[in-house]
């Protein structure tokens, strides 16, 4: 049996993960990662105190030791700064993906290993496959909850120390187990919002750190349609919130691009021929976590709720590839994370660096 540190977030998933490991006979310690305290007056709810109380209640119910690990400084330097600077540069960061590599399986795993633990366990809906070549992440059994995409930037040595007790379970089964174990989080709603920050609107969060930078809203021909308050407040493919009514009845404007140099938001119509909205060829960089080189044909998933799509893959450098998708994909954005799969096996991931229509 192993000595495992479980990241108890105060939610039902991590609670059941801990309960399963205890039932299996492992030496389990629960720990809450205190990564964020909303002490700067940002509108929204940051329920970290309640989460600690709930996590402590689970630990008491299971009869395991409980710790609170203060990682606020590391979270700010590794995640919050990445988020702010990404949006400042006009990118679309994904803090949840980076949080897994840098925090849960970064500084938190480092702490666990220093404390004599063999592994870190979380409530992710994913599985681990150990092979002669190394350890891989597999998609979770529940297709509606599979969270392997969020683990796509993890390094092989991190995966080797990761435990995912919920990987073979469906979400309803997890709720049933929480009731069976009598866990105080059994009926608690799943958390929403930015990783560890809570239910804070991204626009409110960004406005706290990035001042409004007004500019022009234009169409694809350059015609001025209105004004925006900051490019960081918009995402590719966004249909609402730009405040510009379309002259075409029943056909709304969507965000099809951002001109960072001119500080212009570009709107167009939902059509596969609209320049900027659909793309087939992209460059993905920051690939340093794969066990083996990516194959010349691979399945690539451009965002969490998207399907993995077939594409050709050509290496430009050791950490950068050019992908050509078999069919155009909608609303790809620089800075987004792209995950690579071979069937249900996660091969790694990287960041969109350039996108060609």
Q: Catalytic residue positions?
A: 99, 195
DSSP 333: -
Element (H, E) at 259: strand 253-259
Residue 63: CB atoms within 10 Å: 8
Distance CA 31, CA 148 (A): 22
Place of tokens 């060829």: 281
Q: Are 137 and 127 in contact (CB under 8 A)?
A: yes
Tell me the backbone φ, ψ of residue 252, rounded to 5 degrees.
-90, 155
Distance CA 329, CA 39 (A): 40
CA distances from 265 to 238, 240, 242, 244, 355 (A): 11, 13, 9, 11, 17
Place of tokens 């002490």: 39
Terminal-to-terminal C-alpha distance of the chain: 53
The overall longest dimension of the chain from CA atoms, in Å, is 67
**Alpha-helix residue ranges (DSSP H) falling in the chain:** 12-23, 48-62, 72-75, 81-88, 95-99, 108-114, 156-159, 171-180, 202-209
């Amino acid at each position: 049996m192993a000595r495992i540190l479980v990241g108890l977030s105060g939610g039902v998933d991590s609670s059941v993960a801990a309960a399963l490991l205890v039932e299996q006979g492992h030496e389990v310690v629960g720990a809450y990662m205190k990564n964020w305290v909303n002490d700067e007056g940002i509108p929204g709810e940051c329920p970290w105190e309640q989460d600690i109380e709930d996590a402590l209640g689970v630990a008491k119910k299971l009869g395991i030791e409980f710790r609170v690990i203060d990682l606020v400084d590391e979270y700010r330097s590794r995640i919050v700064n990445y988020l702010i600077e990404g949006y400042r540069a006009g990118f679309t960061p994904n803090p949840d993906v980076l949080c897994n590599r840098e925090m849960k399986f970064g500084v938190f795993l480092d702490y666990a290993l220093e404390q004599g633990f063999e592994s870190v366990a979380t409530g992710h809906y994913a599985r681990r496959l150990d092979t002669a070549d190394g350890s891989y992440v597999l998609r979770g059994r529940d297709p509606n909850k599979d969270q392997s995409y969020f683990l796509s930037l993890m390094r092989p040595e991190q995966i080797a120390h990761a435990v995912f007790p919920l990987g073979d379970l469906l979400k309803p089964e997890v709720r049933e187990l929480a009731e069976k174990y009598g866990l105080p989080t059994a009926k608690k709603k799943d958390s929403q919002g930015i990783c560890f920050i809570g239910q804070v609107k991204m626009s409110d969060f960004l406005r706290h750190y990035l001042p409004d930078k007004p500019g022009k809203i234009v169409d694809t021909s350059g015609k001025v349609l209105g004004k925006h308050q900051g490019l960081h407040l918009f995402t590719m493919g966004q249909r609402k919130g730009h405040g510009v009514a379309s002259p075409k009845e029943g056909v709304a404007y969507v965000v099809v691009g951002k001109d960072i140099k001119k500080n212009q938001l570009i709107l167009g119509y939902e059509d596969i021929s609209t320049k900027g909205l659909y793309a087939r060829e992209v460059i993905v960089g920051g690939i340093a976590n794969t066990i083996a080189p990516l194959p010349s044909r691979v399945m690539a998933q451009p965002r969490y709720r998207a399907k993995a799509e077939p594409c050709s893959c050509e290496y430009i450098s050791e950490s950068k590839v050019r992908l050509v998708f078999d069919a155009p994909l909608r609303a790809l954005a620089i800075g987004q994370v792209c995950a690579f799969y071979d069937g249900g096996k996660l091969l790694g991931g990287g960041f969109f660096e350039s996108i060609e229509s």
